[in-house]
Amino acid sequence: MSEYGVFTEAGTVRFRRVLPGPIERVWAFLTEPEKRATWFAGGPMDLWPGGTARLHFRHANLSEGEEPPEQYRQAQEGFDFECRITRCEPPRLLAFEWEGEPGEPMSEVTFELTPEGDAVVLDLTHRRLGPAGLRSVSGGWHLHLAMLEARLTGTAPPPFWATHARLEAEYAARLGG
């Protein structure tokens, strides 16, 4: 599995992945609902600053035959999450606000794509996270990016919930609790 996210400053985690290109293909997996649903969450996106991203999470699509932990049953069955697009520069940059954990501020997720030969470097940065949010999203992004990498390379994705539990524990230890 790919490298761990790096905590670049308080409340910020950054991931870098090198994916098979071309850049338009990776962009499609970030923005087209059917493709995004295979590794993260489906739902339409208004691809302009101020537009809405209606993310539909249904982890049963990502975890065939696995039972989720009790706290994630809703994610298994499906729920919707609405975000506001803050930046959109196809096919290189997509950013949107992310609702924080209760009592925490809105955070921002940024995907940056850079062509590198036949590959594409994807940098995902999640900023302005409170402590609970940082613990919550770090392992999740790690796993979702592994799912994206598997989809783009045509390999089998990791078992979702077993990998999620392991990464959640590893990131909690890396963050000190």
% pLDDT > 70, the chain: 97
**Is pLDDT above 90 for 141?**
yes
112 φ, ψ (degrees, to nearest 5): -120, 130
Measured CA to CA, the distance from residue 63 to residue 162 in angstroms comes to 9
Torsion angle defined by CA atoms of residues 11, 110, 146 and 122, in that order, rounded to the nearest 10 degrees = -120
pLDDT band at 73 (very low <50, low <70, confident <90, very high): confident
Both structure tokens of 50: 């101020």
Write the CB contacts of 74 (distance below 8 Å, at least 6 apart in sequence).
Answer: none
Give all strands of the β-sheet with 79-89 in edge-to-edge order. Answer: 6-9, 12-20, 119-127, 107-116, 93-98, 79-89, 52-57
Residue 75 has pLDDT above 90, yes or no: no
Contacts of residue 32, Cβ cutoff 8 Å, sequence gap at least 6: none
- Residue 115 has a pLDDT of 98
Structure confidence at residue 125 as a pLDDT band (50, 70, 90): very high
Number of C-alpha atoms within 13 angstroms, CB side, residue 24?
Answer: 0
* Helix/strand/coil (H/E/C) assignment for every residue in 110-142: EEEEEEECCEEEEEEEEECCCHHHHHHHHHHHH
Sign of CA dihedral 169, 172, 173, 174: positive
Residue given tokens 């470097």 in the structure block? 121
pLDDT grade, residue 2 (50/70/90)? low
Mean pLDDT lowest among 19-28, 53-62, 163-172: 53-62
**Predicted local confidence at residue 84, as pLDDT:** 97
- pLDDT category at 177 given cuts 50, 70, 90 is low
Q: Where are the domains of the chain?
A: 6-174
Q: How many CB atoms lie within 10 A of CB 153?
A: 10
Note the pLDDT of residue 109.
Answer: 98
The dihedrals phi and psi of 93, each to the nearest 5 degrees, come to: -150, 135
Return the CATH architecture of domain 6-174: 2-Layer Sandwich (3.30)
pLDDT tens sequence across 12-56: 999 999 999 999 999 999 999 999 999 999 999 999 999 999 999
> Among residues of the chain, what percentage have pLDDT more than 90?
71
